[in-house]
A and B are shown apart, each in its own frame.
Chain A
Amino acid sequence: MRSFRYRDRGTPVHRLNPFGKLAWLGSIIALTLILDNPVFLLLLFISTLPVVRAARVWSEWRSSIKFTAYLCAAIILINALVSSNGATVLFAFPFQMPVMGTPVITLEAVFYGAAMCLRLLAIISAFAVITFTVHPDDLMLAMIKVKLPYKSVLVTSLSTRFIPTLIDDTQRITDVQRSRGLELDKGKLTHRIRSRASIVTALLSNSLDRAVQVAEAMESRAFGTGRGRTFYRDIRLTRTDTATVVFALLPFALGIYLAVTGYVRYQYYPTAQSIAMSGFEWSLLALMAVLLLMILPLAYLKRRVDLD
C-alpha cells in the first residue's frame, strides 16, 4: 500500500526551523483568505512549487494535489450549478424551478469556482510542505512551545506515529476478508458499504486492543508522573531562525496593506472584472512573489550558517 509519511531528506527546507515553516504556512493561509484577486491567488499557489521542489517531496505532493483536484472539480461544478449571480450566461436549463426561475450556468460562477480552487490548492500545497518536511515530534514541540497542553499534543503525535501501523492493519485485514470471498467493489452502494463493515469492525477492535497496550506500555515508562516533564530535544531559535519567522510573516503584512488600501481588489459578480492591473499593482505582485519566496534563500543561508 502506498503511504506517505515524513521522511528526512536532509534538504535545506527540512532543516528550516519548524516555527519558520509554520509562519510561512500561516501567511499563505491568511493571504488566501484576505485576497480575492485571481492573479494573486494563482501566485500564492505557484509560489509554493519551488519550495516543494527544494524539499524534494514531489511524489508526496502530487498525491495530495491529486486528491484536491477531485475536490476542485466538485467545487467548480457545484458553484456553477448553485450560483446564478453572473451576467454572462453560458447555458440555460430548459426547465423552470420554483423561486429560482430558469437555472443557468454563468461564466462568472465558473470563474469564481476556479478562484476558490486556487485558494484551496495553495493551502493544500503549503500544508504538504509542512507535513512532509517537519518531523512530527518537532511539530509537537513547536505546539508545546506555543503553550498548547502537552497531553493533547501527545495524542496528536501518537496518532501520527500509528498511521503506518493502521495502514498495514487495513491492508492485512482487507486481504483476510477478500480471501474469505468478500467482494468489495460489486453490487449496489449499500452492499459496498455493508461489505466494508467487516473490515472496519476488525480494524476498530484491533486498534482498541492496541490502544490499551500502548497505554500500558506508557504507564510502565513513568508516563504522567505529575511532576512536570522535561524535553530532551529542544527547538531553539537561532538568529537566522528568528529572521526566517519574520520574513515568513512579511507576505502577510503586505497582504494586510493590500486589503486595507484596496489595491488589487477584484470583483467576480455580476461581470468578472478584467484581470488587467496598473503598473503599480504589477509591482505589488512582484513584491509579493519575492516575499513569498524569501523562505528559500533563508533556508540555504541557514544551512551555510549551521555548517560554519
Chain B
Amino acid sequence: MIKIEDLTFSYSDTARPSLKGINLKIGSGEFVLVTGPSGGGKSSLCRCLNGLIPHFYGGEIAGRVSVGGMDTLKHSTKELATRVGMVFQDPENQLVSMDVEREIAFGLENLAFPRDLIARRIEESLDTLGIAGLRYRQIHELSGGEKQKVAIASVLALHPDILVLDEPTSELDPKGAEEVLSVVTRLNDELGLTVIIVEHRLDRVLQYVDRLIVLSEGEIALDGGVGDIVSRRYQELSRLGIGVPPLLRLVNELKERGIDVGQVPLTVKEGRAVLDEVFQKVRGELALTGGSDGSRTLVETKRLYYTYPETGLTALKNVSLRIDEGEFVAIMGRNASGKSTLVKHFNRLLEPTKGKVYVDGTDTGKATIAELARQVGFVFQNPNDHLFADTVEEEISFTMKNLGFDRAEIEARVDRMLAEFGLEEYRLRYPRSLSGGEKQRVALASVLAVRPRILILDEPTRGMEYRLKCELMRFLKEYRKLGNTVVLVSHDVELVAEYADRVILLSEGKIVVDGEKHEVMSRALLFSPQINRLAQAFARYGVPGNILTVDEALAIL
C-alpha cells in the first residue's frame, strides 16, 4: 500500500534534513502508531504520504514515496486526496465551512462530483462517524472532539484507502480524545482502512495498534509489532524518551528486579490478570508525606461566585478555598467545570460577581492586574500566545519593563533566566522560530523573571511530548524549592498523580473534593491513574487502595 524508499527531505529554510534515509513499507489494513520526540520528523513523514511534501512544502527531496501505486513526486496532493485522507492536529484550522453538512461536501465539490453522489457520500460519512445528529449544526458551536470527528468524516467522504492522522487528539480534552480514538479504531477494525496515527500519549492507543514506529531526529529509531517492542525492546523505547504507560513501566521495572510476569499488559484489565500473583504477596501501608505545613496563606477565595455577563452562565458557585505557601495544587474537572474561570480570579483577569479573592492577604479588588503580576505568574497553554517580541531577550524582559523594574536589574535577571533555562545561545533569536520545548521555556522564563510567589499554569502539558513534560516539571520543582506555590490546571491524571500534593476537583462550578491527592484520586474512576485502578482490584489482598504511581507500587512490592 505504502512504500517509501531512501527518503530524505529538508525544508527549504533549514540545513538539517527533517527526514533521513527512511525506508518503510506499510501493508493494507495496518494500524500504525508513529511516535517520537517533537522535531523528530513525524509531521514531515505524514506530509510525504499525501504529497504535501514536496508540492506544498518545498525543499530538497531524494528517494521515492509510492502510495497505492502512485508516485507522490509525480502526483499532486489534490490527485492523492482520494487515496490518502489527512487529519491534522488543530480541528479549528482544517474546517472551512459554516456547518457540518457543507464541510463534508467541500472535498466532494472540489472533485466536481454530481449532487446526488455528494448527497450519498455525506449520508454515509455521517453514519460511519456516528455524527448524523450534528448534520445541520454550526461548526463553531461544536466541541473539539466533535470538530475533529467532522474533520475525519470530511476526508472519509472522499473514500481514501489510507487515513493519516497527525496528532489528532493533542488539542482535545480526554473525553474528546477518547471519542476520536475509538472512532479511528473502528474505522480500521470494521472498514479495514489503513490507519497511520501520530500520537504522544501511548496509553490511549497502544492496545489498539498493530505496529509502532518511533521517529527520532528524522530517522526510524524503532519499528516493530507492539507486543514485541513493549516486551523485548522496552529499554530502547525508554532510552528514546518515549513516555510509556505506567503499567508498562511497572512490569518492566519488576522484570529488572527479577520478577518476570511473562506477558506485558497493555490495559488495566490485562494488568489485573497478569499481576495478580505478584500483588497477592503484598502487605503494607503507603507512607504519606504531609502536605502543607499551613505556614502562610497565599491565595484565598471566600464564597466566590462568577457569572459570565455575555452568556449569563454561572461558572463558579460558592467557591471557598485556601492555598498555602509552598503547595503544589492541581485543579481538575471536566470541561467547562470552571477550572480556568477559577484561576483567572487569582490575578484578577476576572473579577468576582460575588465574594472575595485575596492574594497574600490583599483583596484583589483593590489591586490592578499589573500590581498582582509581581505576585502571581500565569502560564497559558499555548506558548505562541505569549510570544511576540523580536528576540528572546526582549521577550523575557517584557514583564519586568511593564512592572517598571530598573534597567540594571532587568539585565541581570534576563542573564540569570537565560542561564537557568538553558537559553543563552538563543538570546537574540526570534522566539517564535524556536522548537516547541524552547518556546515553552521562553514563556516560562518570561513569567518567572519577576519572581512571582504563585505560579498558575493552565493546561501547560496538553499535546506536549513526554520529555518536555518532564522538563517542565523539573523547572517547577526548582521553583518550589524556593518556597513558592504552584497551581496547575490539568486534565493529565498521570502527571497530577506524580507531581501534585493536593487536588481540587471541580464540577459545575463547585468544589466537589479538595484534599491530599491520594485521598482524592483513588476510587475516583475518571480521575484515577492507571496504577490506582490496578491497585483497587487487589485491595482484597491488603494492597493499599490509595497508591497512585509506579514508584509507590514498587515501594510496597
Starting from the known contacts A177-B388, A183-B370, A202-B386, 4 additional A-B residue pairs (CB-CB under 8 Å) come to A202-B385, A205-B384, A216-B56, A232-B108
Contact A232 B399 (CB under 8 A): no
List chain B residues, Cβ under 8 A from A175. Answer: 344, 349, 380
For residues 96 through 130 of chain B, which have their beta carbon under 8 Å from a beta carbon of chain A? 96-99, 101-102, 105-115, 118-119, 122
- B432 in the interface (beta carbon within 8 A): yes
Residues of B within 8 A of A173 (CB): 385
Specify which of B109, B113, B447 lies most central, judged by the most chain A CB atoms within 10 Å of its CB: B109
State which of B33-41, B80-88, B481-489 sits at the interface with chain A. B80-88
Does B155 have its Cβ within 8 Å of any Cβ on chain A? yes
In the assembled complex, B536 has its CB within 8 A of some CB on chain A: no
- From known contacts A180-B373, A181-B370, A183-B368, infer whether A222 and B78 are also in contact, taking CB-CB under 8 Å: yes
Query: CB within 8 A of B90: which of A213, A229, A232, A233?
Result: A213
CB pair A232–B109 under 8 Å, yes or no, is yes
Is A220 a contact partner of B370 (Cβ separation < 8 A)? no
A188-201 vs B, CB cutoff 8 Å, 1 = contact: the mask equals 00000000011101
Residue A34 at the chain B interface, CB threshold 8 Å: no
Q: Contact check, A232 vs B115: say whether CB atoms are below 8 A apart.
A: yes
| B398: Cβ under 8 A from any A Cβ | yes
Does residue B478 face the partner (Cβ distance < 8 Å to A)?
Answer: no
Given the interface pairs A165-B92, A218-B96, A222-B107, the reply to whether A182 lies near B370 with Cβ below 8 Å is yes
A91 at the interface (CB under 8 A from B): no
CA A222 – CA B77 in complex, angstroms? 7
Q: Is B216 an interface residue (CB 8 A)?
A: no
Give 9 closest A-B pairs by Cβ, nearest first: A181-B402, A217-B94, A221-B107, A222-B81, A232-B105, A179-B378, A213-B93, A181-B373, A202-B388
B496 interface residue per 8 A CB criterion: no
A137 interface residue (CB < 8 Å to B)? yes
User: Smallest CB–CB gap between A276 and chain B, Å?
Assistant: 47
A217 touches B385 (CB 8 A): no
| Size category, A interface | 35 or more
Q: Are A214 and B111 in contact (CB under 8 A)?
A: no
Chain A residues with Cβ below 8 Å from B386 are: 176, 180, 202
Residues of chain A lying within 8 A (CB to CB) of residue B374:
181
16 contacts between A and B (CB under 8 A): A5-B140, A8-B138, A137-B97, A137-B102, A161-B98, A181-B369, A182-B370, A182-B398, A202-B386, A202-B387, A205-B388, A222-B78, A223-B107, A230-B115, A230-B118, A232-B118
| Listed residue (B81, B110, B155, B382) with the most chain A CB atoms within 10 angstroms of its CB | B110
Given A181-B370, A205-B384, A225-B110 in contact, is the A220-B98 Cβ separation under 8 Å?
A: no
Instruction: Judge if A151 is at the interface, Cβ distance under 8 Å.
Output: no
Establish whether residues B56 and A219, one from each chain, have CB atoms under 8 Å apart when the complex forms.
yes
Interface string of B375-402 (1 = CB under 8 A from A): 0111010101111110000000011001
A308 is an interface residue with CB less than 8 A from chain B: no
A interface SS class: helix
Instruction: Decide if B52 is an interface residue (CB 8 Å cutoff).
Output: yes
Complex Cα distance, B108 from A227, in Å, reads 12
Q: Does A228 sit within 8 A of B, measured CB to CB? A: yes
**B85 surroundings in chain A (CB, below 8 A):** 220
B342–chain A nearest beta-carbon distance, Å:
14
Task: Check A216/B78 contact, CB under 8 A, given A161-B97, A183-B402, A210-B93.
Answer: no
Shortest distance between the CB of A103 and any CB in chain B (Å)? 43
Q: A205-B388, A222-B107 are in contact. Are A137 and B78 (CB under 8 A)?
A: no
Which of A8, A164, A234 touches B140 (beta carbons < 8 Å)?
A164
Residues of A within 8 A of B344 (CB): 175
Q: A81 on the interface (CB 8 Å rule)?
A: no
B158 within 8 A of A: yes
Report the nearest B residue to A200, measured CB to CB: B388
Q: Does A136 contact B (CB under 8 A)?
A: yes
How distant is the Cα of A168 from the Cα of B109 in the complex, in angstroms? 30
Q: Is the CB of A136 within 8 A of B98?
A: yes
Q: Quick check: is B154 within 8 A (CB to CB) of the other chain?
A: yes
Q: A92 at the A/B interface (Cβ < 8 Å)?
A: no
A182, A216, A229, A232 interface centre (most CB from chain B within 10 Å): A232
B380 adjacent to A176 (CB under 8 Å): yes
Contact B112 A229 (CB under 8 A): yes
> Interface code B324-357, partner A: CB below 8 Å = 1, 0 otherwise?
0000000000000000000010010100000000
Cβ 8 A contact of A221, one of B81, B93, B115? B81
Task: Tell me if B88 and A213 are in contact (CB < 8 A).
Answer: yes
Q: Does A58 lie at the interface of the complex (its beta carbon under 8 Å from any beta carbon of B)?
A: no
Contacts of A201 in B (CB 8 A): 388-389
Would you call B102 and A232 a contact (CB within 8 A)?
yes
Q: Which of A209, A219, A234 contacts B77 (CB 8 A)?
A: A219
Judged by a CB distance under 8 angstroms, whether A231 is at the interface is yes
Nearest Cβ on chain B to A185's Cβ, whole angstroms: 10
Q: Determine how close the nearest CB of chain A comes to the CB of B277; give it in whole angstroms.
A: 50
Residues of B within 8 A of A158 (CB): 96
> Given contacts A172-B380, A180-B402, are A221 and B88 in contact (CB under 8 A)?
no
Q: Are B81 and A137 closer than 8 Å at their CB atoms?
A: no
Kindly identify which residue among B98, B310, B376 contacts A137, using a CB–CB cutoff of 8 Å: B98
Known: A225-B78, A228-B112. A214 touches B105 (CB 8 A): no
* A180/B447 contact (C-beta < 8 A), A161-B96, A232-B102 known: yes
Given contact pairs A180-B373, A202-B387, A221 touches B97 in the complex (Cβ within 8 A): no
Pick from B92, B112, B140: contact of A225, CB under 8 Å: B112
Q: In the assembly, what is the distance between CA of A219 and CA of B114, in Å?
A: 20
A266-B320 Cα distance, complex, nearest whole Å: 67
Task: State in angstroms the CA–CA spacing of A217 and B101 once bound together.
Answer: 17
Given A209, A220, A223, which contacts B50 in the complex, CB threshold below 8 Å?
A220
Distance from B417 Cβ to chain A, minimum over Cβ atoms (Å): 14
Q: Decide if A202 touches B384 in the complex (CB within 8 Å).
A: yes
A214 near B402: Cβ-Cβ < 8 Å: no
**Contact of A265 with B by CB under 8 A:** no
Q: Are B399 and A181 in contact (CB under 8 A)?
A: yes
B124 to chain A, nearest CB (A): 14
